[in-house]
Structure 1
Amino acid sequence: MADMLDWTGASLENLDMAAFEARADEMAARLVEETGAGRLPFLSMPYAAALKEDLAQLKDFIKAFDHMLLLGIGGSALGARALQQAFFPQQGQPGHSGPCLWIADNVDAYALEAYLAKLPPEKTVVVTVSKSGGTIETVGQYFILKEWMHRRLGDAWSEHMLLVTDEKQGFLRAEAGKYGITTLPVPDNLGGRYSVLSAVGLIPALFLGMDIDALMAGAQEVATPLADPKLTGEELAAHGSFQLAAWGAALLEKGFDEMIFFAYIPLWAKFGDWFAQLWAESLGKEGRGSQPIPAVGVTDQHSVNQMFMDGLRNKACLFLTCPSLPAGPKFPMDLPDQFAYVRGRDFGDLLQAEALGTRMALSDSGVPLVELLMGDDGPRQAGKLIALLGAATIMTGWLMGINPLDQPAVELGKRLAKARMNADGLTEEKASLNAFLTADRDMREF
């Protein structure tokens, strides 16, 4: 079965899609300009051939380790975690004895101390991912792991390190040159939330034995037409990513300012978290945007689905399904009469039935819904999904008239955190921080 977008429940009759669809020529011209100038490597992937060679040369190095500790945050970790759960679920299952990927994606002293206490340094490679080389949450962990490795392994510490950072500049690039640490680059103009199909996500995928060639091929199947220097508006109008972008922009005009990502492929649930950063950080600008809500089927039928069905009518939904998931064991035949309807049925039938029921109920409740119907749950399909949603997000931003590639508001919080740690400079931030900390507080015991 082919991968499909089912628009049956998208409420197209209630949305002014035509105004955005009419801008296909404009969007095609912009894609040609931006990809031609190298500003959208997520779509054009000019780095792909060199990256495949680098990964081939790196394979024996990383396969020599039993553990990989990935230091990264946001886009430097969310894609890797999604791929890990989707294609290497055995690490979280009983009896696992193969390679283990650990992701340190927060300022979490409990977790970091556990890694230091329990990971065998001689069998561990530490991968630090920061494009700028200055992300303090990540580089701060690198400092601690560097000291730990040096203390336990002596001069061999650098042989257990791998840096993924800017090719030419930044602190981590300087560290690589100083200590001879193996590195792979993050391509120019490739923001973290768009970087999963670079070394950022593919190094941990390679370590776990995933089919990264299929993953990349799937992504290129979707993205390559969008990077064609001869792309026309007619061709773009027929592309699923543009159709989703026009839908997303039209939804916002009608007040649908929340986007549910409902995953009924259980192992793909973490793609919801990946999508949440992609959608929120790209489109939440200038007092506008659409709040992403990751949800997992069937788990969230028993929690937040009440709000989806019967709450404020401001929600739309991307509904992820795959009819060809494993059947699983069969239900026993000797069940009580009240459960007779599942006697002898495959356990997997229940998931498909729940997905159908929820999709119909959401539509009946007035939630505009597009079903992302995957023909398979393999890596090629995951690559297609990543490219589809990334491209749709970029074009939704353009149709809104905002820049989907920056994140200005996020930077303020980072500067204030650095001011709190008394970093040099940041005069205005330190003044704001002092005013905040010395103001009267309304404190109440509970």
Structure 2
Amino acid sequence: MQFTLDFNNTMSDVLGSEQGFRPEDIDGLKKQANEIHKNLQARRRTDIGFYNLPYDEKLLKDVLSLSKELAGSFDTLVVLGIGGSSLGGRAIFNALCHPYHNLLHSVGEGRLSPNASIGDVPSRCGRPQGSPLQARNKRSVLRIFFCDNIDPDGFKPLFEILNLKKTVFNVITKSGETAETIAQFMVIKKLLEKMIGKKYR
């Protein structure tokens, strides 16, 4: 996999000498960039498993299979995690999903004609390109919320709008010791046990 960054429009010949980068500025970063690359490659060869996740095709198939299974039983996914454990998923969500993805659950008859064409809208989050928006009970994707803060003013209101019996939680902490994420999990675990019982899992 290759990643290419085109920074031509940030150069001094485009932006001017006061704001743009000069060729020598870029050249001066090459040594540092090479060192960073070597460091990352060295870490990939250790037991830090998540460095190789993008290249694990079996895991990808398992994740896709699980996502279909969950979409058949739940209508909402809540991601618990802070920092990179939240930002990575949030970045993908914002890049690939409809800007109002979570509100598409409420779209039904009268909101859009059954024969309406939205072929000029890009395919996003599992919805086939060119198909009309579907009613809630026909959707094959989950609403997704990211809880990246333990502030009760932001945490508690989410649970006022969720049906916990139709909500699945993804707890992300690479170390397994992130205090904020564990605190979130303990609160949710108590709520699930109270509403659903010991079989909440």
Aligned-partner Cα distance in 2 for 1:36–1:86: 26
Contact preservation (8 Å) 2:102, 2:143: no
- Determine if the alignment matches structure 1 residue 54 to structure 2 residue 62: yes
Instruction: Give me the whole-angstrom Cα distance separating, in 1, the residues matched to 2:37 and 2:85.
Output: 30
Quote the offset at 1:51 in angstroms.
1.5
Is the Cα contact below 8 Å between 1:116 and 1:148 reproduced in 2? no
Task: Sort the Cα spacing of 1:93 and 1:36 in 2 relative to 1 into closer, same or farther, 3 A.
Answer: closer
State the 1:29 CA deviation. Answer: 8.8
**Change over 3 Å in CA distance of 1:8–1:41 after alignment to 2:** farther
1:139 alignment partner, SS class: helix
Per the normalisation by structure 1, the TM-score is 0.30
Change (3 A) 1:152 1:110: same
Is 1:30 the counterpart of 2:38 in the alignment?
yes
Secondary structure (helix, strand or coil) at the match of 1:81 reads: helix
Specify the alignment match of 1:104 in structure 2. Answer: 147
The share of aligned pairs that are identical, in percent, is: 25
Partner of 1:141: 184
Once the two structures are superposed, the pairs formed by residues 426-445 of structure 1 within 5 Å of their partners are none
Cα 1:113–1:7 shift into 2, 3 Å: same
1:348 corresponds in structure 2 to none
SS at match of 1:5: coil
C-alpha contact (below 8 Å) 2:76/2:168 kept by paired residues: yes
Cα distance, 1:46 vs structure 2: 7.4
For residue 109 of structure 1, what is the amino acid of its counterpart?
P
**Structure 1 residues 403-446: Cα deviation after superposition (integer angstroms, max 9, x where no partner):** xxxxxxxxxxxxxxxxxxxxxxxxxxxxxxxxxxxxxxxxxxxx
Runs of 4+ in 1 over 6 A off after TM superposition: 39-43
- The match for 2:165 is 122
For 2:56, give the aligned amino acid.
Answer: A
Partner of 2:11: 10
Which structure is larger by alpha-carbon Rg, 1 or 2? Answer: 1
Is 1:34–1:40's contact at 8 Å kept on the other side of the alignment? Answer: no
Partner of 2:85: 76
Matched residues in 2 for 1:133 and 1:18: separation?
40
1:133 positional shift: 1.7
Could you tell me which amino acid in structure 1 is paired with residue 167 of structure 2? T
- 1:57 deviates by 3.7
Tell me the equivalent position of 1:91.
101
Contact 2:81 2:173 in 1 (8 A): yes
Query: What is the DSSP-based 3-state SS (H/G/I as helix, E as strand, rest coil) of the residue aligned with 1:127?
Result: strand
Q: What are the equivalent positions in structure 2 for 1:29-428 lying under 5 Å apart?
A: 30=38, 34=42, 37-38=45-46, 44-45=52-53, 48-63=56-71, 64-88=73-97, 89-91=99-101, 95-96=106-107, 97=136, 98=139, 99-158=142-201
The number of residue pairs the alignment matches comes to 155
Deviations 1:296-351 (A, max 9, x none): xxxxxxxxxxxxxxxxxxxxxxxxxxxxxxxxxxxxxxxxxxxxxxxxxxxxxxxx
CA distance in 1, matches of 2:40, 2:149: 38
Question: SS in structure 2 opposite 1:125?
Answer: strand
Structure 2: segments with no counterpart, 5+ residues? 13-20, 108-135
Cα deviation 1:358-412 (Å, max 9, x = unaligned): xxxxxxxxxxxxxxxxxxxxxxxxxxxxxxxxxxxxxxxxxxxxxxxxxxxxxxx
In structure 1, stretches of 5+ residues that fail to align are 159-446
Cα root mean square deviation, aligned:
3.4
Whether the 8 Å contact between 1:35 and 1:41 is mirrored in structure 2 is no
Aligned letter for 2:170? Answer: V
TM norm structure 2: 0.61
